[in-house]
Amino acid sequence: MIMKTILSIPVIVILLLIFSSGCMKNKVKSGKARIHELTYQTPGVDGKMIAASGILILPPSGDGPFPVVSCQHGTIFFREVAPSYTDSCAEAQAWMTEMAVNGYVVVMANYIGLGKSGTTPHPYFHAKTEATAARDMIRAARDYCKKQNIELSEKLFLAGYSQGGHVTASLQRLIEQDQAYEFKITASAIMAAPFDLEMLWNHHVTKPNMISSAVTSLMFKTYFDIYQFGDSFGQFLEKPYDTLIPKLLDYTYPENYVIASFRDSPSAIFKPWFLKEIAEGKHPFALNLRKNEVYNWSPKFPTRLVFSMGDEVVPYTIENKAFTRWIELGGNVDSVNLGQKYNHGDGFLPALHEAKKWFDSFMADHKKAN
């Protein structure tokens, strides 16, 4: 879920140039994509409008009309590796190289509280504001392109990996259930997505990996602030984490520093009674995790799940649960299993490539028209 740890930016760019393929006439394989930072208004957790930001990446050249892909980024712990800090954001670099250079307009929201305009806490895994922040970024991108006479096609793709997959599912649900009159999704690629946050939490507590403590602590801090289910961090956290976590997880410390600061597993960070109540599904924290699941609905537009059975951060059992539920509900969904050989970080590039190939398959009519 930490995209900075996947590969260095130069390696990502080289590999993606090798992988890249496209089918559009206005595809360009060389040159620099054009990046624009946009600021817009979106509802915060309390419903009041606040400033948010993101980036719009335009193809190096071409006359359009360009298809749009809204790309939702994964978990970060440092505000200055959000997409607006493109030189420091490996994921933005990857989407730019794979998609924008090949003729797609890329839209990436920083999410609330992140990026250059971020001044408030980021509501991590808060499904409602994830969806509205990404939706309003698409609106801002469309408005900008209209003012600049940049022609966009009617094709809109959604894609996201890890937390970005959770955001993508939440965004797609919002569009399909409430705003299909405004947006028509061509296809959606939801990759390594933690659809069920309660399952995700229990996985990181019982089978911790190098980022489990940072992820669970951020989930706890965010929900403590949003849902106010306690009086103090000391009720739930062992020392010194009761004072460390509020300071450390404010998005002002570099990623590696944050991860290295968690020297204990989640079972040693949280008080035993709290972990027990969560495991039993009794504590309000567990109920709020459940409230922010993003799989109990039926996708109408073409939707593809991409996952790795070797993923140690978002286990494939979560993907399987969502896929099974969607099939039961008659959802327009299929899946791609990348197999056992990829862990969470290594699976990002193959998943991105699968999304690109699939999106290209919807561009056949575009190719014939040109």
Look up the CATH number of the domain holding residue 276. 1.10.260.160
Question: Would you state the pLDDT for residue 241?
Answer: 97
Number of domains in the chain: 2
Regions in the chain scoring below 70 on pLDDT: 1-31, 365-370
- 40 and 78 share one domain: yes
Question: Would you state the pLDDT for residue 317?
Answer: 97
- 206 and 79 share one domain: no
- How far apart are the C-alpha atoms of 90 and 5, rounded to whole Å? 9
Question: Would you state the pLDDT for residue 1?
Answer: 30
Q: End of a domain among 260, 290, 320? A: 290
Question: Would you state the pLDDT for residue 28?
Answer: 36
Question: Would you state the pLDDT for residue 117?
Answer: 76
Q: End of a domain among 263, 290, 317? A: 290
Domain that holds residue 259: 197-290
E-only strand ranges, the chain: 34-43, 49-58, 66-72, 105-109, 152-161, 187-191, 303-307, 333-337
Q: End of a domain among 248, 265, 290? A: 290
Asked if 89 and 111 touch (Cβ cutoff 8 Å), the reply is: no
- 313 and 281 share one domain: no
- 172 and 87 share one domain: yes
Question: Would you state the pLDDT for residue 61?
Answer: 81
Cross-strand partners of 69: 106, 157
Q: Which whole-number Å values give the CA distances from 230 to 11, 30, 239, in the listed order?
A: 45, 54, 17
- 79 and 165 share one domain: yes
Question: Would you state the pLDDT for residue 62?
Answer: 77
Question: Would you state the pLDDT for residue 29?
Answer: 40
- How far apart are the C-alpha atoms of 44 and 128, rounded to whole Å? 9
- 273 and 244 share one domain: yes
Specify the DSSP element, H or E, that contains 205: helix 197-206
Question: Would you state the pLDDT for residue 31?
Answer: 63
Our CA angle for 194, 356, 28, nearest 5°, is: 140
